Amino acid sequence: MDLKLAGKRVLVTGGSKGIGLATVRAFLAEGADVVAVSRTKTPELEATGATFIAADLAEPDAPARAVLASGPRLDVLVNNAGGGTMPDGAFDDPLDGDDQAWAYAFGLNLDSAIRTTRAALPALLAARGAVINIGSTAARDPRGGPMPYAAAKAALTAFTRGLAEKYAGAGLRVNVVTPGPTRTDVFESKEGFIAQVADHLGLDHAAVVEAFPRQNGMLVDAIIEPAEIARAIVLLASPTMPSVIGANWIIDGGTLKAA
């Protein structure tokens, strides 16, 4: 199947590992020209041959600088950088974190996507391109993550819909992908959210990951591979899907129980 992405210029935030790295690889496999942005360049990203721009997107000026550095032309923006670990002491906080923790979660998961989109908008409109934001099931079921993270992802989902409505007439398609539990550092790293939860509950990290699907209402027996999320992102970016606009593609192994 030709997704007509060959030669398209694609910017993926958080492209150094996890879902972002899988997305970089998937676009490269389609013949796209890919720029990845994150704070650090991993050997795995290096091996892809994608262009790398170092930036801490939680800093207010960084998204505009990164977009400028990526060059004047852009067809596809994937706002993927994000995450929701618990800051020290947040498990004991009634709102899962103080003002600073809430501001950081919104800065990383929402503001960075808004700022990157703002900077990239002229090029995306000129290309009649596509934006894909990466949300989370936590937006719909906040039990799935720290509250500041869940609230920021819910706001990102609303931002996606608003942007889609506003720019559909100009030929820009904006959609959100909502991943459920996905096998990245969130689950696998000793510093990831699931390791934090396991530590907090006094449970074995590997056992929590193993039991996660059946303990959390998934209808499949394994957490999701990043490549599956990436396939949806690439399809949403494809000009062969002109009618998918303002949509929320949920890829969660059946975790969310509403239709």
The footprint of ligand NAP (CB under 6 A) covers 14-20, 38-40, 55-58, 80-83, 108, 134, 136, 179, 181-182, 184-186
Q: How far is the CB of 100 from ligand NAP (least distance, A)?
A: 15
CB of 136 to ligand NAP, least distance (A): 4
Position 244: which residue type? V
- Given the complex with ligand NAP, which of 127 and 248 has the nearer CB atom? 248
104 has catalytic annotation:
no
26: Cα within 13 Å, side-chain hemisphere: 25
What does the H/E/C string look like for 199-237? HHHCCCHHHHHHHHHHHCCCCCCCCECHHHHHHHHHHHH
153 is catalytic: yes
Q: CB under 8 Å to 249, separation ≥6 — which residues?
A: 175, 176, 177, 178, 232, 236
Q: Which two tokens stand for residue 211?
A: 């039991």
Nearest to 257 by CA among 136, 135, 140, 134: 140
3-state SS, residue 53: strand
Nearer to ligand NAP, 4 or 41 (CB): 41
To ligand NAP, the closest distance from the beta carbon of 235 in angstroms equals 17
Q: Which of 17, 153, 167, 257 is flagged as catalytic?
A: 153
User: Can you tell me the distance from the alpha carbon of 4 to that of 8, in angstroms, rounded to the nearest whole number?
Assistant: 8
CB atoms inside a 10 Å sphere around CB 69 = 13
Nearer to ligand NAP, 126 or 189 (CB): 189
CB of 78 to ligand NAP, least distance (A): 10
Nearer to ligand NAP, 1 or 258 (CB): 258
Taking a C-beta distance cutoff of 8 angstroms, is the pair 192, 186 a contact?
A: yes
User: Would you say 75 and 124 are in contact if contact means Cβ atoms under 8 Å apart?
Assistant: yes
Q: Say which of 4, 149, 167, 190 is annotated catalytic.
A: 149
Measured from the CB of residue 30, what is the shortest distance to ligand NAP in angstroms? Answer: 20
Is 124:166 a contact under the CB 8 Å cutoff? Answer: no
- Residue closer to ligand NAP by CB (options 80, 238) is 80
Known catalytic residues are 149, 153
